[in-house]
Amino acid sequence: MTEIDQASKIGEIIEAYPADQRFALAALQDMQHAFNFIPEEGLAALAEYLGCPQAQLYSMATFYKALSLTPKGEHIIKICNGTACHLRGAMNLATELKRDLGIEPGQTTEDGAFSVELVNCLGSCALAPVMVVDGNYHNKLRVEQIPGIIESYAEGVTDHD
């Protein structure tokens, strides 16, 4: 995405809302969705539109987990660490991912292909442990299945039903 594209997309997102502080979170979430992170230009533009200090939006961007100030990877791997998943070995999944990708939860691989996140309960406790890659659920996952799953995404295989 070029700078001009980004700027016009930011404008489009912001102007979809009335200039009222109560829509700040929604606008930031839309930016997160559009760019996979919140660009600094986005914070500045929104602050100007709402007439609030940029620091106030910065504090929101760092407070809410759904928002990120750094770009995320192309594929986002979420390991559920809700209680049920934790009891059924979620942390072992994280260890295995570190072995395969060389990154800890919260990090992105150098080539920008994968981000790993340890997330709170996804509400699929009955199927624990759960790992979600790009929105596809992998249920009752065993550690030894992980390398194959990673490989399939790295190769661009998207059919995971």
Cβ–Cβ < 8 Å for 101, 151: no
Binding of another protein by 124 (CB under 8 A): yes
Binding characters for another protein, 54-73, by CB under 8 A (x = yes): --x--xx--xxxxx------
Cβ–Cβ < 8 Å for 119, 78: yes
Binding of another protein by 143 (CB under 8 A): yes
The residues in 30-49 that bind another protein, with binding defined as CB under 8 A, are: none
Which region, judged by CB under 8 A, interacts with another protein, from 5-13, 34-42, 85-93, 107-115?
85-93
Binding of another protein by 75 (CB under 8 A): no
74: DSSP letter = S
Cβ–Cβ < 8 Å for 109, 102: yes
Selected from 39, 81, 108, 114, the binder of another protein by CB under 8 A is 81
Which region, judged by CB under 8 A, interacts with another protein, from 37-45, 107-115, 142-150, 151-159?
142-150
- Taking the complex as a whole, how short is the minimal distance between the CB of residue 130 and another protein, in angstroms? 7
- Taking the complex as a whole, how short is the minimal distance between the CB of residue 27 and another protein, in angstroms? 9
C-beta neighbour count of 126 within 10 angstroms:
9
Report in angstroms the alpha-carbon separations of 7 from 4, 31, 85, 92.
5, 11, 41, 42
- Cα separation, 157 vs 48, whole angstroms: 42
Report in angstroms the alpha-carbon separations of 27 from 53, 63, 113.
16, 15, 26
Which residues contribute to the site for another protein (CB under 8 A)? 20-26, 29, 56, 59-60, 63-67, 81-84, 86-89, 92, 95-96, 99, 119-128, 130, 137, 139, 142-144, 161
